[in-house]
A and B are shown apart, each in its own frame.
Chain A
Amino acid sequence: MSPPPTDGIDLALHHVGVRFGGLVALDDVSLRVPPGRIVGVIGPNGAGKTTLFNVVCGFVPPTSGALTLDGRPFRPRPHRLTRLGIARTLQGVGLFPGLSVVENVMAGATHSARAGFAAALFGLPRSDRDERRLRDEALDLLAELGVAAHAAAAPGTLPYAVRKRVALARALIARPRLLLLDEPAGGLSAEDIAELGELVTALPDRAGGACSIMLVEHHMDLVMSVCHEIVVLDFGRVIAAGTPEQVRDDPLVTEAYLGADVPAGATPPGPGAGS
């Protein structure tokens, strides 16, 4: 394994298994997300995609196997992730309904604040400076994503596509070097998805090409167009992995998606096939 670049992070899962009682959610899953790469995780419903994300985020401890980050053992804890440079968006939108759009984005960089509790309690300039810096960063990000006009709005009043972008901004403000996107295209129109694809493709460049992305997605066109590598899960196991072309031509994948009686080499499932 080559040493990772200093500014990227290299996440790897080694033979990870997760059992919930008798149910095997993940079985001997190994995969790697190298710096600057976009790795897609696809699979039918219940294949274990979200469980995989939850393992990486520390919500679900693996029952077997291990994770490494830059080659070192990695035991993730959700609230520590942003400090390590890992940010995740949630399925749906997962915004805080009681916070305005800009506050939602600011909340994503909670770890970066320098002022402590006492400074906040007494309203010291240190705390004010933190807040101003965060707010400016958040507004810049919202502008970059083209939703700055909604900065003061409550998330509940906004169109779904806008909310998705705000959720993305909340993840990006943590300046992630590894971004976990959980179904970013879910509920979006074809036009929005096309824009999203271009956005995702451009994300690694934000961190000088070192930001890696792990993408769980149903929408096959998006996955095929943006990912460098794709991992296909079915019943908790990796049934195929490789470049989009390799995965597309894999008969096992077609079988998992469309059933056993489809002849190998049939066209891959289109949009919405997995839902």
Chain B
Amino acid sequence: MTATQPEVAPDPRPAAASPLRRLLPGPPGAAGPRGSTLLRHLVLAVLAGTAVVLLTNQLPPYQNLQVARVCAFLCVTAGYTVLVGLNGQLSLGHGALMATGAYTVALVQQGFEERAVQGRWILPLSLLLAAAVTAVAGLVIGLAAARLRGPYLAGVTLAVATLVPALTTIFTDLFNGEQGLRFPAETPPAFLGAYFQPERWLAWVALLAALLTMLLMANLVRSRFGRSLRAVRDDEVAARLAGIHVARNQVLAFVVSAACAGLGGGVYAVLTATVAPGKFSLDLSLFLLMAIVIGGLGSLAGAVWGAVLLVALQDLPSLITETFTLPSGLAQRLEGNLALAVFGLILIVVMLVAPGGLQGAARTLTARLRPGRPATRR
């Protein structure tokens, strides 16, 4: 680099790029993270995984199933928050993409059942296919999405959200209408013992899928693709001049996000060994959106908050009706609407108090508690 720069203030480049600063741990500042991205994220994944496994060993069946559902939703919210938060594409169709993954798993597993094929490899294969098929669906939607912006994109994906469940009632031969599909339930492998809690095994399966998704998404976010996603979100003209193929970037984001949603939907189906269109209504798509917004758009940690919230709030009405003896009419009305109402309320409160979502609030809080570091990073 030629030192041709005249009359500029003395180079204030501080410790940022000095060798010492690069060795020190800490959040990636100007110098950025050194070391291996994969290694760093793997360590985090193993730590988180161990913690959850230890937790599941203490929990009764129903709560393990809740853990499993959180993990299934986490697959979805992780990919979804990358699309909406980092790439700025508002999709309202992720409930339908979950349905695509769920039905793929069901059909694949039914197919093997009819041919009397058994084996532990069927589960990973069906989940892989769920992600792949949904990625293709995401490619188709993404190609349309790359030509649309903001509310128009939201409109098209909203149509997808209502169309996919409707398809299941149109092609009843294949999807069995409102009844949905059943397939063989996933059972714990024999080496875990005959009396191993099935729900614990399901939680582990879902956990593995969630950790894998989070690992890949974290890698992606930290790479140049993550930067390109955000650049496209911020300024399409500048992004193009920076050498980014904007449309390709947006389609890629949609495909990645759809694959995650498909995997999550597939895992979700495995948990109950059934799929039915009622589970993937428009409400689900809206719940997903609210979850990632409340968690903190564009943040993978926020996606965790969102996934926890999704399960907690979906179970809230039944918890209330079981805890308190309510008139049956009121109980029914609660079952139907309470989750959506509470979700909306939390959304409003969080947006007023912490526009960065729960994760944004947590970040501000920890920054404030840590001495010497200004809390200005947004």
Measured CB to CB, the residues of A under 8 A from B are: 57, 59, 78-83, 87-88, 90, 94-103, 106-111, 113, 115, 117, 119-125, 127-128, 130-132, 134-136, 139-146, 148-149, 151-152, 154, 157, 170, 174, 195, 198-199, 202, 205-206
Q: Is B323 an interface residue (CB 8 A)?
A: no
Interface residue total, chain B, C-beta cutoff 8 A:
56
A202 touches B5 (CB 8 A): yes
Closest Cβ–Cβ distance, residue A97 to chain B (whole Å): 6
Q: Which residue of B lies closest to A102 (CB)?
A: B30
Contact with A along B229-265 (1 / 0, CB 8 A): 0110111011111111110000010000000000000
Interface string of B219-231 (1 = CB under 8 A from A): 1101111111011
Would B13 and A148 count as touching, CB distance under 8 A?
yes
Name the contact of A146 in the complex, choosing from B2, B9, B17, B36 (C-beta under 8 A).
Answer: B9
Q: A96-B234, A205-B2 are in contact. Are A87 and B241 (CB under 8 A)?
A: yes
- Tell me the number of A-to-B contacts counted with CB atoms below 8 Å: 178
Question: Is B31's beta carbon under 8 Å from chain A?
Answer: yes
State which of B11, B225, B240, B377 has its C-beta within 8 Å of the C-beta of A148.
B11
Cα distance, A198 to B376, chains bound together (Å): 34
User: Given A130-B224, A145-B8, 4 more contacts at CB 8 Å?
Assistant: A108-B242, A121-B219, A121-B225, A123-B38
Given A88-B241, A134-B224, A154-B378, answer yes or no on A199-B12 (Cβ-Cβ < 8 Å). Answer: no
CB-based nearest B residue for A194: B7
A131 to B37 Cα, complex, angstroms: 10
CB within 8 A of A83: which of B30, B37, B230, B243? Answer: B243
**In contact, A144 and B231 (Cβ under 8 angstroms):** no
- How many angstroms between the C-alpha atoms of A174 and B3 in the bound complex? 18
Q: Are B30 and A151 in contact (CB under 8 A)?
A: yes
Contact partners of A131 in chain B: CB under 8 A: 32, 37, 222-224
**Which one of B2, B38, B246 lies within 8 Å of A124 (CB-CB)?**
B38
- Whether the pair A78, B240 counts as a contact (CB closer than 8 A) is yes
Given contacts A98-B230, A106-B227, A120-B219, contact A148 B243 (CB under 8 A): no
Complex-state Cα separation, A202 to B7, whole angstroms: 12
Contact across chains for A149 and B14 when beta carbons are under 8 A apart: yes
Say yes or no: A96-B219 contact (C-beta < 8 A), given A110-B244, A131-B224: no
Partner of A125, one of B8, B16, B36, B242: B36
Indicate whether A132 sits within 8 Å of B34 (C-beta atoms), given known contacts A96-B230, A98-B230, A149-B14: yes
Q: Is the CB of B13 within 8 A of A139?
A: yes
Residue on A nearest B27 in the bound complex, by CB: A152
Contact A107 B216, CB 8 Å, known A123-B41, A140-B1: no
Chain B residues positioned under 8 Å from A142 (CB to CB) = 13
- B9 to chain A minimum Cβ distance, whole angstroms, is 5
Assembled-state Cα–Cα distance A146/B11 (Å): 5
Q: How far apart are the CA atoms of A198 and B32 in the complex, in Å?
A: 31
What residues of B have a CB within 8 angstroms of the CB of A152 in the complex?
A: 16, 29-30
Interface residues of B in 181-237 (CB under 8 A from A): 215-216, 218-220, 222-228, 230-231, 233-235, 237
Closest B residue to A157 by beta carbon equals: B376
Complex Cα gap A26–B201 (Å)? 69
Instruction: Name the distance in Å between B75's Cβ and chain A's nearest Cβ.
Output: 15
- When the two chains form the complex, which single residue of A108, A128, A136, A202 contacts B4, counting CB atoms closer than 8 Å? A202
Q: Which residue of A lies closest to B298 (CB)?
A: A98
- Checking A95, A101, A120, A174 against B238 with a beta-carbon cut-off of 8 angstroms, the contacting residue is A95
Q: Quick check: is B6 within 8 A (CB to CB) of the other chain?
A: yes
Q: Given the complex, which residues of A lie within 8 Å of B36, measured CB to CB?
A: 123, 125, 128
Closest CB of chain A to B89's CB: distance in Å?
14
Among candidates A101, A149, A170, A202, residue contacting B12 with C-beta atoms closer than 8 Å:
A149
Q: How far is the CA of A100 from the CA of B246 in the complex (A)?
A: 20
Residue of A nearest to B16 (CB): A151
A43 CA to B378 CA, complexed, in Å: 41
Q: Are B5 and A117 in contact (CB under 8 A)?
A: no
Residues of A within 8 A of B238 (CB): 90, 94-96
Residue from B230, B243, B377 in contact with A111 in the complex, judged by beta carbons closer than 8 Å: B243
By a CB distance below 8 angstroms, the chain A residues around B224 are 106, 110, 113, 115, 120, 127, 130-131, 134
Q: Which chain B residues numbered 57 to 76 have a C-beta less than 8 Å away from chain A?
A: none
Max chain B CB contacts within 10 Å: which of A102, A109, A128, A198? A128
CB distance from B375 to the nearest CB of A (A): 13
Interface centre among A103, A106, A154 (most CB of B within 10 A): A103
